[in-house]
């Protein structure tokens, strides 16, 4: 009796499917890693600029900034010259 899983055709199809799945998984992981890296870079840039501007930033502000998403961090960067006080910064947190 023929076992389909042992046939050469099945093995080729199965191997292609596995390889495609691995490739897709790697691409998705790379995308997530790049996104996380972008967000971390934005976060560090925002903190660096705010430290330079205000000299000292209270810990609660730093904690809030560390929890912001990429969009909110981008808003702070886009408006960094309009943020003149810590209360101005609160509008973005």
* Mean predicted confidence (pLDDT) in 22-29: 80
What's the whole-number average pLDDT of the chain? 86
Q: What is the per-residue pLDDT across 29-68, written as a single tens digit (0 to 9) for each?
A: 888 888 888 899 999 999 999 999 999 999 999 999 999 9
Q: How far apart are CA 38 and CA 18, in angstroms?
A: 30
| Residue 45, both tokens | 């840039």
Instruction: Write down the pTM of the prediction.
Output: 0.65
State the DSSP H helix or E strand holding residue 71, giving kind and residue range, or none if neither: helix 70-78
Q: State whether the Cα torsion 51-53-56-60 is positive or negative.
A: negative
What one-character DSSP code corresponds to residue 85? S
């Amino acid at each position: 009796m023929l076992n389909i899983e042992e046939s050469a055709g099945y093995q080729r199809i199965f191997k292609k499917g596995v390889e495609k799945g691995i490739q897709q998984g790697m691409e998705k992981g790379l995308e997530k890693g790049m996104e996380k890296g972008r967000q971390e870079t934005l976060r560090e840039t925002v903190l660096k600029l705010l430290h330079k501007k205000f000299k000292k930033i209270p810990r609660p502000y730093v904690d809030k900034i560390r929890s912001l998403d990429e969009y909110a961090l981008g808003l702070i960067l886009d408006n960094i010259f309009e943020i003149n006080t810590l209360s101005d910064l609160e509008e973005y947190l």
